[in-house]
Amino acid sequence: MTFDPDGPGDGDTLYGLDPHPNPLIRVIPVPWEATASYGRGTSAGPDAIGQASQQVDLEDMEYGAIWRAGIEWCSADVDISFLNQQASALAVPIITSGGATRGQGDAAKVDDLAKRRDRAVYEAALRIFEADGIPVVLGGDHSSPIGLIQAASERHDGLGILHIDAHADLRIAYQGFESSHASIMHRALSLPGVDRIVGVGYRDLGKAELQRIHDESDRIRAFPDHEIAYRLAQGTPWQRVVDDIVDALPPTIHISFDIDGLDPSLCPNTGTPVPGGLQYRDVLVLLWTISQRRRVLSFDLCEVSPGPVGEWDANVGARILYKLAGCASVSKLSEVTPTHDPSV
């Protein structure tokens, strides 16, 4: 049968799409949550988003027929789910006991398993880049995409990271784990090819993280939630705030999207929800502006947890993933033409 983009999704493919001869968007599922420090469940995120994607209408009102460029799963060479099971069995007792000494004992073993995950993601991302695709990590907790960020930073020196998150994730380690979800941006800054992180929506930070943002203002530019709130309350249009965010980014970027950067009404089951955050429509304006003014080399979406029911979180996640795919596609390919300019 001929594929009907207006028909219901069916099967195991993302968005119910038929196989594409050379898909542009290639999604690496990373079902990992070993060091999740509060709520758990993000390892089920990729499957839940895949299922929810089946009922997303494909003719996007901003980006047009995103699906035509191809959006497909791309598995890593190792069983990340099995690595997560091994690492979680070691990590959960450490977490429930309040943490461990950094880099020692079972905490070091968890970090070693995370390195195997990172290597597999890195190698999968390199293959996608070599095929002229856009690699994507779908987590899993927010430690999941470091292998992708490493590959992107090697692909383009001077890479910027747009980091949408309630947390800065700048800790050297957390609860003894250097591979913690709370350390992803610390690790990203250690990569030689990463030029700058621009954080949006931060609202739950530690003292050392705040000091680091102050001390390293040349490499870390934060747009915290309370500052955004005050600017909007004083009458600044959201588009002007978005322009400032985009102006702070280098020309080529990776987007790292932790779902808890959104208002928790949109992600109630995420592992570390925080009041405040971006609304869905705020994200639409931000991504559209990026698609017109920056090149998106790669991106990730993390911390979507289905929870006991899961339909809502995965529903939002599937739509954020599709919008990210549209943003990245338009930023890369001039022939991917939006149906209209929503800013007019």
Q: What are 182's two structure tokens? A: 């709370």
For residue 336, pLDDT beyond 60: no
Q: What are 296's two structure tokens? A: 């998106």
Model pLDDT for residues 17-48, shown as the tens digit of each residue: 999 999 999 999 999 999 998 888 999 999 99
Indicate the residue type of 220: I
Q: Which H/E stretch holds residue 238?
A: helix 238-247
Q: Mean pLDDT for the chain?
A: 94
For residue 338, pLDDT beyond 60: no
Instruction: Please list, residue by residue across 184-217, b when 16 or more beta carbons sit within 10 angstroms of its beta carbon and e when fewer do.
Output: bbbbbbebebbbbbbbbbbbbbeeebeebbeeee
Model pLDDT for residues 78-126, shown as the tens digit of each residue: 999 999 999 999 999 999 998 888 878 999 999 999 999 999 999 999 9
For residue 335, pLDDT beyond 50: no
The pLDDT value given to residue 99: 85
Which residue, among 61, 53, 49, 68, has the nearest Cα to 5 in the 3D structure? Answer: 68
Assign 254 to helix, strand or coil: strand
Distance in angstroms (rounded) separating the CA atoms of residues 299 and 128: 13
Q: How confident is the model at residue 330 (pLDDT cuts 50, 70, 90)?
A: very high
For residue 1, pLDDT beyond 60: no
Over residues 247-263, mean pLDDT: 98
Distance in angstroms (rounded) separating the CA atoms of residues 15 and 169: 31
Q: What are 284's two structure tokens? A: 């639409």
11 — alpha (psi -120 to 50), left (phi > 0) or beta? left
Asked if 298 and 127 touch (Cβ cutoff 8 Å), the reply is no
pTM of the model: 0.95
Q: Which residues contact 182 (CB under 8 A, 6 or more apart)?
A: 37, 167, 169, 171, 174
* Distances from the Cα of 125 to the Cα of 130, 135, 152, 265, angstroms: 9, 6, 8, 32
Over residues 299-326, mean pLDDT: 93
The pLDDT value given to residue 4: 85
For the four alpha carbons of 268, 263, 56 and 24, in that order, the dihedral sign comes to negative
Q: What are 54's two structure tokens? A: 């089946």
Q: What are 50's two structure tokens? A: 């895949």
Which residue, among 253, 254, 274, has the nearest Cα to 263 in the 3D structure? Answer: 274
For the chain, list the domains and their CATH numbers. Answer: 14-332 (3.40.800.10)
